[in-house]
Structure 1
Amino acid sequence: MTSANSPNLIGNIEQWPIAGSFTISRGAKTEAVVVVAEVRRDGLVGRGECVPYPRYGETPEAALAALRAMQEAVADGLDRMALQAAMPPGAARNALDCALLDLEAKRSGRRIWDLLGRRAPEPCVTAYTISLGSPPVMADAASRAAHRPLLKVKLGGDGDGERIRAVRKAAPQSQLIVDANEAWTESNLEKNLAACAAAGVTLVEQPLPAGNDQALARIDRPLMVCADESVHDRTSLEALRDCYDAVNIKLDKTGGLTEALAMADAARALGFDIMVGCMVATSLSMAPAMLLTPQARFVDLDGPLLLASDRDNGLLYEDSLVYPPDAVLWG
């Protein structure tokens, strides 16, 4: 039975224009569409943000409907541990999980990392994304970002060798990581990996389609390969040990920070390096992921840098250095 002091769950869809456009192998977009969950109780508001991803059959409307379906359970006192079984992993659960964590921190008057017994995040270098395009266009973008220490280069299949050579020439001092977004095939895998290795790339992310990536276990990998679409939560880790050296943990895939932290612990125990990643979104999406950065070898939380503007009280970015969130934003 609910009462006047019961938590109240509200969900909203928001659109945030991107500065220019953001292009990967699956297409381009000019705005980030996010879903925000707010859990209100005793005058306090806990917030969480997610980005429903069509690659996994998600839409903003379906995520919002999934949140609204949880309103009664939240009013009846659902906590984030019970939430893990009450909703499947995915974007909607992420927004609610993070909102409940934010509310928990606000009610206690403590920072969330202290409540969870985790290391406090510190300022760290985030990757900055170079969108997929022609070699000259990508070289121009890389040249303008060449002062940044870590660039994440989106590739897309045919012509990727030329693209990565152009980016390397334009940004000779930056560390490069590559994201193929499942666009390579078994026939061009070794050629593209060799081109990346020749360009001094440190890591290649998800070169082959999820579920068709066993070829990675049969070749000599000349550089680190990281799973993204192939890995979602802890249950998907064990099967990837022969194919990948690292895993990209994104809260929208794990279904929230609660599972993401447990997944990071499990991944490290299995010998994986960790990347903490994001979708293009506001600082409200990035803030919870900052708790994963003490365990991460690579941090890719540049979503707000790709927007025309961020929400109020967003994360502080000094070029590629990102700072932990203030409590007024989250946690």
Structure 2
Amino acid sequence: MASLKLNVVREGLRLAAPFRISGHVFELCDAIFVTLDDGAHRGRGEAAGVFYLNDDADHMLTAIEGVRAAIEAGPSREELRGILPAGGARNAIDAALWELEAQRSGKPVWALAGLPEPRPLLTTFTLGADDPQVMAEGARGYAQARAIKVKLTGDLDLDIARVQAIRAARPDVWLGVDANQGFAIGDLDALVAAMVDSKVSLIEQPLARGREADLQGYKSPIPIAADESALTLDDVPGLVGRFDVFNIKLDKCGGLTEGLMIARAAKDHGLEVMVGNMVCTSIGMAPGFVLGQLCDICDLDGPIFLKQDRTPGIVYRDGAAWCDDDVWGATAAVAVV
């Protein structure tokens, strides 16, 4: 690949309202936005990093500057995996390389990835943790949603009340819960039983990262997904017998290139695959939409939490997400200015 010009900036993504999960409340997300251009074509990428790994904007910017020369030398996406470790920095550069290749080749990213023409993807719409009745009203407010994911905090009785209120408000939707590491193994039987009663279809990351062995052989009637316990391709074999679903997030694994590898490896190991997201604009979400074409469960709602998204952006209609090639990965050159 010919030499490239790299530009990387920090961007503050402000949320429309505070968003609460177990142990954290988010109002602003610092992301990075990168471009790679060769004078005729330009590729773009965005990443928010992984907050619980201290992979923040400062860390991502430092990581990229440390290998600027190697990136501007024009590596392949496979070579990039040896230049930067898994994380947000590599995700942003990887996305820019994908779009750059799409423009140079005249093929959209999904075709370069060997995938069929994309289809709209049913996506979850996420409710941050709050008072049960506030969350129930939020569920009603997601009028178009056909799937809702509920953030829990680890307060068992309150979390059960939250889910019960949401199920009463929306008896029609697929429902999943995300514990964000909030529980211990001793809580799990009670949590699972209550979730069965509320017709919950997925329990995500109930235990802390590092406690995966506690789930060895645990039999749950509801599939259990690994998120914080599932970072990269190397984690796939260790999840077998402990989890049912691998939640791929491109900021965790370092980009679409590795995300596609994880999806295929996880299925080879008998795991289902989910694509998730950090808070991001449609540019950051678009590679996840490509990956979502291989996934059993999609959580692609990140841009809806922002005060302002990019234009053009992902379209949400009838509970599904649609990302046109014009958002990212277009075959026509993005103007280089």
Quickly name the TM-score band, shorter chain normalised: over 0.9
Q: Residue deviations 1:190-233, cap 9 Å, x none?
A: 11111111100000000000111323224321211000000111
State the 1:87 CA deviation: 0.9
State the 1:66 CA deviation: 1.2
Distance 1:286 1:328, change over 3 A: closer
Aligned partner letter, 1:179: D
State the 1:56 CA deviation: 0.8
Size of the aligned set, in residue pairs, is 328
Is residue 307 from structure 1 mapped to residue 306 from structure 2 by the alignment? Answer: yes
Aligned to 1:242: 241
Aligned to 1:119: 116
Is residue 98 from structure 1 mapped to residue 81 from structure 2 by the alignment? Answer: no
Aligned to 1:15: 12
Is residue 179 from structure 1 mapped to residue 178 from structure 2 by the alignment? Answer: yes
Equivalences for residues 59-208 of structure 1 within 5 A = 59-158=56-155, 159-208=158-207
Q: Distance in 1 between matches of 2:211 and 2:328?
A: 40
Q: Distance in 1 between matches of 2:288 and 2:63?
A: 22
Q: Distance in 1 between matches of 2:323 and 2:167?
A: 30
Please say if residues 144 and 319 of structure 2, whose CA atoms lie closer than 8 Å, have aligned partners that are also in contact: no
Q: Residue deviations 1:244-300, cap 9 Å, x none?
A: 111101101110110000110000111111111101110011111112222211110
Q: Distance in 1 between matches of 2:161 and 2:322?
A: 35
Please say if residues 181 and 206 of structure 1, whose CA atoms lie closer than 8 Å, have aligned partners that are also in contact: yes
State the 1:74 CA deviation: 2.1
Structure 1 regions of 5+ residues with no counterpart? none
What is the CA RMSD across the aligned residues, in angstroms? 1.6
State the 1:94 CA deviation: 0.4
Residue 18 of structure 2: SS of its match in structure 1?
strand
Structure 1 stretches of 4+ moved >6 Å: none
* TM-score, with length taken from structure 1: 0.95
Aligned to 2:297: 298
Structure 2 regions of 5+ residues with no counterpart? 331-337
Is residue 227 from structure 1 mapped to residue 226 from structure 2 by the alignment? Answer: yes
State the 1:99 CA deviation: 0.5
Distance 1:147 1:6, change over 3 A: closer
Distance 1:147 1:315, change over 3 A: closer
Aligned to 1:279: 278
Is residue 35 from structure 1 mapped to residue 32 from structure 2 by the alignment? Answer: yes
Distance 1:328 1:238, change over 3 A: closer
* TM-score, with length taken from structure 2: 0.93
Q: Distance in 2 between matches of 1:240 and 1:81?
A: 25
